[in-house]
Amino acid sequence: MAARNIELKIFLLSCLWVIAVETAWIIFMAGKTGWIALGMLRLLELILVLGTVYYFDRDFKSIALSSLQIMPGLKKGFLWSFVFGIITGILFFILFMNDINPFKLLRVRLPQDTLQKILFFLVGGLIAPVTEETFFRGILYGFFRKWGSLFAISVSTFIFALAHPGVSYVQITGGIVFAISYEKEKNLLVPITIHTLGNLSLFSLSILT
C-alpha cells in the first residue's frame, strides 16, 4: 500500500508542533531533566504528529501505516537490517585490515549509572526512532516526495542530520538508508525497524568496547 503525498496543512501543522515542543524544551527544560523527561518529550511529539495526520485523514495511510502493514513492515525491516549489518561488517573488516578501529569511530558515550543506561536504551533505542521516522520520513519525506524521490531523500536526510548534535556520516548514512527503504517498501515500519535496530546495535557495541 503506497503512501499518499502529505498535504501542506498536515506538513505545516506537524512542523509547527515539533518546533514548538523543541523550543519549549530548550527554553524551560534543557539541562534540568534526564532521559525520562526526554522520552516524554518524544512521545508528546509523536502523539501530536500522529494526531494531526488522523485529524485530517481519519487514518494513517498517508504515512504508510495500517494494521495490515505491521508484520510485512517488521519482516522487511529485519531483512534490510540484516543486509545492512553484513555490509557494515565487511566495511569493518576492511578498516581493521588498514589498522583503523571502526568501533572508535562509532562509539556512543553512554551514561555510567545502570538505571540511566537502561533509560538511554529505551529512549534512544526505541522511542526516539519511532518518533523521528514518523516525522522525518512519514511527514517530511512524504511532503517533499511530490518533487521526486531524489529531492525528498536529500532534503529529509539533510534536515534529519542537522537535527542531531555533531552532524556526522552516521546520521547522513542512516538518513539516506531510512529514506531509501521507505521509498522502496512504502511502509513506515521498515525504516522504523532499521533505525531502532541500528541504534540498539550502536549502543550495545559501545558497551562491549
Between 164 and 188, name the one with better pLDDT: 188
CB-hemisphere CA count at 13 Å for 29? 14
Question: Considering the domain boundaries, does residue 3 fall inside one?
Answer: no
Instruction: Quickly count: other Cβ atoms within 10 Å of residue 94's Cβ.
Output: 11
Reduce the DSSP state of residue 25 to 3 states and report it.
helix
For the stretch 179-209, pLDDT in tens is 999 999 999 999 999 999 999 999 998 887 7
- The DSSP secondary-structure symbol of 64 reads T
Phi, psi of 150, rounded to the nearest 5 degrees: -65, -45
Containing structural domain, residue 109 = 8-208
Question: Considering the domain boundaries, does residue 127 fall inside one?
Answer: yes
Question: Considering the domain boundaries, does residue 94 fall inside one?
Answer: yes
Total domain count, the chain: 1
For the stretch 117-133, pLDDT in tens is 999 999 999 999 999 99
First to last CA, the chain: 41
Reduce the DSSP state of residue 31 to 3 states and report it.
coil
CA distance 88 to 202: 12
* N residues, the chain: 209
Question: Considering the domain boundaries, does residue 16 fall inside one?
Answer: yes
Question: Considering the domain boundaries, does residue 1 fall inside one?
Answer: no
